[in-house]
Chains A and B, each alone.
Chain A
Amino acid sequence: MTEVFDSLRKEIEAESLDSADAVDSFRIRYLSKKQGKITDLMKGIKDVSPGERGTYGQGVNELKTLANAKIKDAKTKLGSSASDQRDIDLSLPGRAPKMGSLHPITQTRHLINRVFESYGFTVEEGPEIEDDWHNFSALNFPADHPARDMQDTFFIEPTDLEHGGIMLRTHTSPVQIRTMKDGEPPFRIIAPGRVYRNESISYKSYCLFHQVEGLFVDEGVTMADLKQILHAFAQTIFGDDVQMRFRPSFFPFTEPSAEVDIWWNDESLPGGGRWLEILGCGMVHPNVLEAVDIDSEKYTGYAFGMGIDRIAMLRYGIDDIRILFENDERFLDQFA
């Protein structure tokens, strides 16, 4: 019995199906219901002893599969060379669904959030309209102090009222105040959000922008820890070999305060590049901790803040901040 199967297999394998006619006659010779050789074998199963029928059926099926595969292969080969027989044009474009996109500010915010969340920071958010206490006083901006000129403020209610004025927040630091006021240390948060500055609109400044501020308050937090986390951050955003420097600066709510620059390569400049400021930071001023009833002897902390828009502009090479708010699709589509 096996010899019959073997010889038929060899016969089938030896067939050359180089034309549609050959395929057709092959199909008739082996598989047609009336005279096909495999069909005949199939019909013969009734003469096989019941004990051998399983092996026999299996053998016939293998031959059938082989013959069918041969036909399919041959048809595929013939189809691709004979264009007149093609019934599908695979070169037609697909029906692509339209792509949307996330705004580059959002993408950058997500990236920054992700970096700090991976270091155990929780994201907190707060209102854009704030009172004087949360935006300034609790952050150690004394009334009638020139430090207030550092942030040109949009006022909603004048400063001579009892609450000291209602304004659009000039930074997301009020979120730190709200978080610390409502909880107990340790605090390890970042606060992303929209902030407002009353500045004339140009390629480098807009009346609003987006900021991420960070805060870590616990026992034993030092400026060395601050340098470490920001270095890790800068490496993630700007590459492992980022060169950065911390230089002394002033913010009322931190002391010591620093501005952080990264080295920006630019062959067109005399020194081959320049220092670019990317963020401000420092150790949380004890006056701020005390304003929210935290023991400034026991706890220390660091805080930092950066402009999401600015980081986005650096990352993507955008040279005019206004284009971020114009939302031209030719711009948006580049971030899909």
Chain B
Amino acid sequence: MKISANWLRDYVDHGLSIEELSDRLTMAGLEVEDVEQIGPRLDGIIVGEVLEVNPHPNADRLTLCSVNVGDGEPLSIVCGASNVAAGQKVPVATIGTILHLPSRTDDDALERIEIKKSKIRGEVSHGMICAENELGLSEDHTGIMVLDEGAIAGTSLEDYVSDKNVPLADTVIDIAITPNRPDAISHIGVARDVAAITGKELKSPSISISLDCKESTADFSVQIDAPAGCPTYAAILVKGVEIKESPVWMQQRLSAIGLRPRNNVVDITNYVMYEVGQPLHAFDFELLAGAKIIVRETSTETKFTTLDDVERELPIGTLMIADRDRDVAIAGVMGGQNSEVTADTKNVLIESAYFNPAQIRRTAKALQLQTEASYRFERGIDPTAQLRAAARAAELMAKFAGGEIDGCVNANPAPYEPRFATLRPERVSHVLGLVVPEDRIQSLLTSIGFNISSENGALKCEIPSFRPDVEREIDMIEEVARLVGYDAIPEPSRSAIPNHPVSISPQRQLREQVSNLLSSLGFKEVVTNSMLSREVAESFCDPILPGARFGGEVVDTLNPVSREMATLRPSVLPGVIRVAAHNLNRGRLSLKYFEFGNSQMRVHTEHSILENYTERECLLILSSGQHDLPGWDTSARVEDIFDLKGIAEVVLDSVHLPDVRFVPIYEASKVSTHHIDIYSGHERLGVLGQLTDSVTSAFDLRGDIFFLEVDWSSISEFSAPFLKKHYDAFSRHPVVDRDIAVTVSRSEAVGPMVKSIRDAGGELLVNVSVFDLYAGDQIDASLKSVAFAMTFAADRTLRDEEVDEEVTQIISSLEKNHGAKLRQ
């Protein structure tokens, strides 16, 4: 909301500088976002008469002008404009004048320049002939400004323009109006707050015409068929207007706040809206069939052409203004082309109504048409101000359009009932932590329009009709707080905190722990967009991935920013793949990333917080490229799936996830060539895989890309019981290490062999690892050799015989279950 400082002074003589005013408004809840100086900057500018124009000896585009500035010798001035000519009267800035010229680098900024005697290409210049934009008179910078012939050389330009329609020097204050302050969307509304915070008087414009109106006049009538949508409709007929320009001062004010002046009638309706906050509409009365206004709702889908020449489709239930035969305006939003004021209009009907805020908001939303009127109606205007505003406009029309006020109707089927709320003075300090004396509370609230009486130790407050946001005690406490100023609220030197334990959820504890672990292991955490194109989202609806393992559909947004960000991610994988591609294509050789993020699917599961939606936090790890770069004594090695499998083992081990199983699946899925399902007990919690070539190439990647994605919500839930650490006494007796190597068929999987060793090894076997895998010349081509290192221990010194016995059992288990033969 733009406020003209000149205009504001009509209603409150605040005596503040613009800086003080801006600061006080901001600190009282009307945040000043911008302050702009507008209008001409004519200090020191005088009228000059161009006597001679000669070519500049050293520059084709410059001229040497001799300019008479009244007294003394004519000045020699270098000029660069092509329109300069002898005999012209022009504005001249003489030496010592300060100009504020539009900046060449920033359209909105001005640069302060002092005119000095200077040499321009070798010729001395004693001033500057100005263009309109250099004086703030217009945006025009096509050439120097040429004045009327009657202008007198040596007189001030300020005098010259005093009777011209030029903008007035003004300051425009741009205020960010919060939705709870519809009362402040006008100059009087802002002036009311200024008066309250400065203790000065608010001066409202007086209205001299009689406000005694009836339901109808001899000339016209108003019929309200939709009283819920329109409880009040005031209309005044002004006859015999002459459509012309509005007075200069009014045009200046409207221009200052960014409105283009149109004609006197339209300007007056705008002027009154920005003055008091009541939107008005002016109909050409002759175009209203039957001299009748009907307020009603549409009952069918209707087409209507608004005065911006756009045909609009109106939904059923739109509140409309109609005459006897047809719709003439969309109530509270925009008038119709069929009844607008034109140059030929003679009689004007001024509409000043109160429309239901929610209904206007729905219409404006449905039509995607927010106007200055709908903006105010949907926030809630003063429901008692209609007649006064109409009368104010009528009076201005009578004065500036030569019209005669002919008749007045005030249809008010649902009169405004005053609203009251009770404020307990002690509650103010209870909420604010600041004691405000009762009389201070009273005077502050009175200053912004409350009527207050004491009742049983509390304050009974009549809420001003222009404050629809105020409903209950807390609303008035807020008013007191902002008028006292938040600065007045002290910071206590200590404050109590409740006696209750602070807890940390396993999900967050483990996330932070694993984030630190992964970053220590060389992985970089990334944060990616969770909105994808629908195609990408669907292509990652692969049931091997934890987010999509419950089935269901991807979750679309109804109003996406773009096609590329229309659907929520079913998996964190695609976002991280993009990061890998981004960095690979910028020369990174080793790609190791992780992200914790939510996956979203439209499916109802036991995990659903919101019915029909399942949202799981997932941990995604991606690795690809160089595992080791070549060093001075190490060689390069490319990342393979066992690197990431090892990471998976470490991560899951670090969170003490119970009963972890890795189940290899050799078939390809949508995104993975083969994969390993990760289980805890019987619950499948995630997957380790390798991207298929088609995914890899679709994302402009190359090489083998490995990924791990697990359901972090489930993992932390499963791990939670095992997070408490405790000490177990450990054996201090020596351990016994034994190695064995066996040959098995090449197709025999090693994982189950390890399990067989564990099962057969009994309690004494505490560890088993695979330390060699060989296939080649040394053994039969159908075989491979696998070597295991085993550690045995007990809470006593082990005898060789008992270990031998375990090893024998292990070997026989490997023979029986895997066809293994011990290598001697």
Task: State the Cβ distance, A247 to closest chain B Cβ, in Å.
Answer: 5
Residues of B within 8 A of A327 (CB): 524, 526-528, 579, 582-583, 593
Which residues of A99-157 have CB atoms within 8 Å of chain B's CB atoms?
99-103, 105-106, 110, 117, 119-123, 125-131, 143-147, 149-150, 154-157
Contact code string B455-477 (vs A, CB < 8 Å = 1, else 0): 00000000000000000101101
B515 touching A225, Cβ below 8 Å: no
Min C-beta distance of B179 to chain A, whole Å: 4
Given contacts A98-B592, A326-B582, contact A285 B610 (CB under 8 A): no
CB–CB A207/B474 < 8 A: no
- CB-CB under 8 A from A224, the residues of chain B are 432-434, 489-492, 495
Surface stretch bound by A, among B281-289, B292-300, B543-551, B558-566: B558-566
Chain A residues positioned under 8 Å from B519 (CB to CB): 99-102, 336
Q: Check A207 against B502 for contact (C-beta < 8 Å).
A: no
Contact B179–A222 (Cβ < 8 Å): no
Which residues on the B side are within 8 Å of A93 (C-beta)? 631-632
Query: Nearest chain-A residue to B588 (Cβ)?
Result: A329
Question: With A158-B558, A286-B472 in contact, is A127–B610 under 8 Å at CB?
Answer: yes
Contact A168:B179 (CB < 8 A) given known A101-B524, A102-B525, A329-B588: no
Cβ of A200 under 8 Å from chain B: yes
B634-A198 in contact (CB<8A): no
CA of A97 to CA of B629, assembled, Å? 11
Smallest CB separation, A296 vs chain B (Å)? 9
Does A166 lie within 8 Å of B613, measured CB to CB? yes
Q: How far is the CA of A105 from the CA of B568 in the complex (A)?
A: 21
CB distance from A122 to the nearest CB of B (A): 5
Query: CB-CB contacts of A223-259 with B at 8 A, as 1s and 0s?
Result: 1110111010000000000000111111000011111
With A95-B631, A249-B31 in contact, do A286 and B433 touch (Cβ < 8 Å)?
no
Report chain B residues within 8 Å CB of A247: 26-27, 29, 31, 486
Q: In the bound complex, what is the Cα–Cα distance between A187 and B409 (angstroms)?
A: 56
> Is the CB–CB distance between B502 and A117 below 8 Å?
yes
* Distance of A133 from chain B, by nearest CB (Å): 10
Judged by a CB distance under 8 angstroms, whether A218 is at the interface is yes
* Interface status of B361 (Cβ within 8 A of chain A): yes
8 A Cβ contacts from B570-599 to A: 579, 582-583, 586, 588, 590, 592-593, 597-598
Which positions 495-525 of chain B face chain A at CB distance < 8 Å? 495-498, 500, 502-505, 507-508, 512, 515-516, 518-525
Is the beta-carbon distance between A256 and B557 smaller than 8 angstroms?
no
Taking the nearest CB of chain A, how far is it from the CB of B158, in angstroms? 27
Query: How many angstroms from the CA of A279 to the CA of B782 in the assembled complex?
Result: 70
Q: Does A208 contact B (CB under 8 A)?
A: yes
Q: How many A-B residue pairs have CB under 8 A?
A: 231
Inside 8 A of A330's CB, which chain B residues have their CB? 586
With A95-B631, A100-B523, A207-B561 as contacts: A245 and B487 at CB distance below 8 Å: yes
The complex places the Cα of A33 from the Cα of B150 at a distance, in Å, of 127
Q: Closest CB-CB distance, B583 to chain A, in whole Å?
A: 5
Is the Cβ of B632 less than 8 Å from the Cβ of A92? yes
Determine which of B474, B489, B512, B586 lies in contact with A328 in the assembled complex, contact meaning CB atoms within 8 Å. B586
B561 CB contact (under 8 Å) in A126, A127, A200: A200
**A325-B527 in contact given A121-B502, A156-B557, A156-B558 (Cβ < 8 Å):** yes
Question: A237 to nearest B CB, angstroms?
Answer: 17
Contact (Cβ within 8 A) A110 B29:
no
CB-defined interface of A52-85 with B at 8 Å, one 1/0 digit per residue?
0000000000000000000000000000000000
Q: Which residue of B lies closest to A282 (CB)?
A: B478
CA distance A166 to B500 in the complex (A): 34
B28 at the interface (CB under 8 A from A): yes
**Interface core residue of A98, A324, A332 (most chain B CB under 10 Å):** A98
Q: Indicate if A186 sits at the interface (CB-CB under 8 A).
A: yes
- Report yes or no: B508 in contact with A100, Cβ–Cβ below 8 A: no
Quick one: which of A105, A123, A150 contacts B505, CB cutoff 8 A? Answer: A123
- Complex CA gap A245/B600 in Å reads 40
Of the residues A150, A208, A228, A324, contact of B179 by C-beta under 8 Å:
A150
Interface size on B, residues (CB 8 A): 89
Residues of B within 8 A of A186 (CB): 498, 500
> What is the CA–CA distance of A99 and B520 in the complex, to the nearest angstrom?
6
Chain A nearest Cβ from B567, distance in angstroms = 10
- Does B367 touch A at the CB level, under 8 Å? no
Interface residues of A in 275-324 (CB under 8 A from B): 283, 285-286, 300, 324
Q: B431 at the A/B interface (Cβ < 8 Å)? A: yes
Once the chains bind, are A106 and B590 in contact (CB under 8 Å)? Answer: no
When A92-B632, A154-B557 are in contact, do A122 and B503 touch as well, CB less than 8 Å? yes
Inter-subunit contact B179/A103 (CB<8 Å)? no
Contact A332 B526, CB 8 Å, known A125-B505, A154-B557:
yes
A194-B505 contact given A102-B515, A223-B431, A247-B27, CB 8 Å threshold: no
Is A106 touching B515 in the complex (CB atoms < 8 A)? yes
Contact A166 B430 (CB under 8 A): no
A255 to B559, CA, bound (A): 31
Q: What are the residues of chain B within 8 A of A117 when measuring CB–CB?
A: 502
CA distance A224 to B488 in the complex (A): 10
Q: Scoring A residues 21 to 37 as 1 if CB is less than 8 Å from chain B, else 0, what string do you get? A: 00000000000000000
Q: Are A155 and B528 in contact (CB under 8 A)?
A: no
Contact yes or no, B524 A100, CB < 8 A: yes
Do A208 and B530 touch across chains, with their CB atoms under 8 A apart?
yes
Chain B residues with Cβ below 8 Å from A283 are 431, 474
The reply on B609 being an interface residue by CB < 8 A is yes
Q: Does A188 contact B (CB under 8 A)?
A: yes
A99 to B518, CA, bound (A): 10
Known contacts A120-B497, A227-B489, A227-B491; is A101 also within 8 Å of B179 by CB? no
User: Contact at B529–A100, with CB atoms within 8 Å?
Assistant: no
- Write the chain B residue with the least CB distance to A95: B631
Q: How far is the CA of A207 from the CA of B567 in the complex (A)?
A: 12
A20 adjacent to chain B (CB < 8 Å): no
A201 close to chain B: CB less than 8 A: yes
Question: Chain B nearest CB: distance from A261 CB in Å?
Answer: 9
- Verify if B481 is at the interface (C-beta below 8 Å from A): yes
CB-CB under 8 A for A105 and B527, given A198-B559, A286-B474? yes
Q: Does B178 contact A (CB under 8 A)?
A: yes
Least CB separation from B180: chain A residue? A250
Q: Which residues of A contact B495 (CB under 8 A)?
A: 224-225, 228-229
Q: Give complex CA distance A328, B361 in Å.
A: 44
List, in ascending order, chain B residues with CB within 8 A of A119's CB.
497
Assembled-state Cα–Cα distance A93/B633 (Å): 11
The yes or no answer to B41 lying at the interface (CB within 8 A) is: no
CB closest residue in chain A, given B486: A246
Contact indicator B474/A255 (Cβ below 8 Å): yes
B378 at the interface (CB under 8 A from A): yes
Q: Which residues, 625 to 641 on B, are CB-close (under 8 Å) to A?
A: 631-632, 634
Counting CB contacts under 8 A, is B316 at the interface?
no
Residue contact B615 to A127, C-beta cutoff 8 Å? yes
* A328 / chain B contacts, CB cutoff of 8 Å: 582-583, 586
**B531 contacts which chain A residues (CB < 8 A)?**
207-208
What CA separation (Å) do A190 and B631 show in the bound complex? 47
- How far in angstroms is the closest Cβ of chain B from A103? 4
CA distance A332 to B588 in the complex (A): 13
With both chains docked as a complex, state the minimum distance between the C-beta of A170 and any C-beta of chain B, in angstroms: 13
Digit string of B338-374 for contact with A (CB within 8 Å is 1, else 0)? 0000000000000000000110011000000000000
Given A246-B487, A248-B486, A100-B518 contact (CB < 8 Å):
yes
Q: Is the CB of A103 within 8 A of B491?
A: no
A101 to B523 alpha-carbon distance, docked (Å): 7
Given contacts A145-B179, A194-B597, 15 further A-B contacts (CB under 8 A): A95-B631, A106-B527, A154-B557, A186-B500, A200-B561, A207-B529, A227-B489, A247-B26, A247-B27, A248-B482, A250-B29, A256-B431, A327-B526, A329-B586, A333-B524
A-B contact pairs, 12 of them (CB 8 A): A101-B524, A121-B502, A123-B504, A224-B433, A225-B492, A227-B490, A245-B27, A255-B477, A257-B478, A327-B583, A328-B586, A329-B524
4 smallest beta-carbon distances between A and B, as pairs: A224-B433, A222-B433, A248-B29, A250-B178
